[in-house]
């Protein structure tokens, strides 16, 4: 059996797990690898705590959430509000893709109300292209990501069109339990009703495709292939 590696890349801690969490659980249960990559931690996202204090808290929360889904987490090292130039971010992510060699990548859709989500979309698409290009030197072998998807995120809905539905009935409760290691998820720190939204949308997606099982929607990035079948 081919070993798969699913990598979900989010702008902040919480984003990646919201988009790819239940799918990551499916893969790790079958012995595959899953990684959640955080461009920033989002340490400025708690008004009741300083960025320094909340950043340390997120350092503890990120691996706990990932571990509860059988996955690992990786923070790119960028501080919220102090991002490197886009070209440097693309190169850093290119190197990570070549090192970790994911065959499936999930990230933000560009139609977002959050500038960092849009930036992450841009960075990921270019990094995926760079990672596959032999002419770009990083001291590593080139790596081509086979499948690129855009995950459902409550802040990225402008133009988001569901194209692929994954049934998550068997992973939903584990996903929510894992997410509860984030204060931002269980306590609505950012005044976003995450639990209500994602529980409701899992049901809505069920209605859309006429199944009896909770489901999650994804968009598919444009790709060239020789045949209609995979």
Q: How many CA atoms lie within 13 A of 184 on its CB side?
A: 23
User: Residue 109: which H helix or E strand, with range?
Assistant: none
What tens digit of pLDDT does each residue of 135-156 get? 999 999 999 999 999 999 999 9
What tens digit of pLDDT does each residue of 180-212 get? 999 999 887 667 899 999 999 999 999 999 999
Distance CA 91, CA 131 (A): 9
- Mention every residue, 6+ apart, whose C-beta is less than 8 A from residue 100: 5, 7, 35
**Do residues 206 and 214 lie in contact, with contact meaning Cβ atoms separated by under 8 Å?**
yes
What tens digit of pLDDT does each residue of 27-50 get? 999 999 999 999 999 999 888 899
What tens digit of pLDDT does each residue of 58-91 get? 999 999 999 999 999 999 999 988 888 999 999 9
Confidence of residue 230 (pLDDT cuts 50, 70, 90): very low
Distance CA 195, CA 175 (A): 11
- Is residue 225 scored above 80 in pLDDT? no
Distance CA 209, CA 15 (A): 25
- Is residue 227 scored above 80 in pLDDT? no
Confidence of residue 226 (pLDDT cuts 50, 70, 90): low
Give alpha helix (H) positions in 113-193.
115-131, 172-179, 183-186
The pLDDT > 70 percentage for the chain reads 96
DSSP state of 84: P
Average pLDDT on 164-185 reads 97
**Do residues 17 and 69 lie in contact, with contact meaning Cβ atoms separated by under 8 Å?**
yes
Considering the segment(s) 5-220 as one domain, its CATH architecture is: 3-Layer(aba) Sandwich (3.40)
> Which pLDDT does position 97 carry in this prediction?
99
């Amino acid at each position: 059996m081919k070993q798969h590696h699913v990598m979900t890349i989010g702008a902040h801690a919480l984003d990646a797990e919201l988009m790819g969490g239940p799918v990551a659980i499916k893969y790790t249960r079958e012995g595959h690898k899953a990684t959640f990559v955080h461009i920033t931690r989002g340490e400025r996202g708690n008004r009741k705590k300083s960025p320094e204090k909340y950043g340390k808290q997120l350092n503890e929360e990120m691996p706990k959430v990932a571990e509860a889904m059988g996955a690992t987490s990786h923070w790119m090292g960028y501080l919220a509000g102090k991002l490197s130039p886009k070209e440097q971010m693309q190169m850093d992510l290119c190197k990570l893709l070549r090192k970790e060699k994911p065959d499936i990548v999930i990230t933000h859709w560009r139609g977002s109300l959050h500038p960092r989500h849009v930036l992450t979309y841009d960075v990921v698409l270019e990094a995926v292209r760079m990672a596959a290009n032999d002419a770009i030197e990083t001291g590593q072998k080139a790596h081509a990501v086979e499948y690129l998807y855009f995950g459902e995120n409550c802040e990225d809905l402008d133009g988001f069109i569901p194209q692929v539905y994954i049934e998550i009935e068997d992973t939903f409760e584990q996903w929510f339990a894992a997410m509860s290691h984030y204060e931002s998820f269980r306590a609505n720190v950012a005044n976003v009703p995450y639990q209500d939204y994602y529980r409701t949308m899992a049901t809505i997606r069920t209605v859309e495709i006429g199944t009896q099982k909770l489901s999650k929607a994804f968009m598919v990035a444009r790709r060239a292939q020789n045949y209609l079948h995979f």
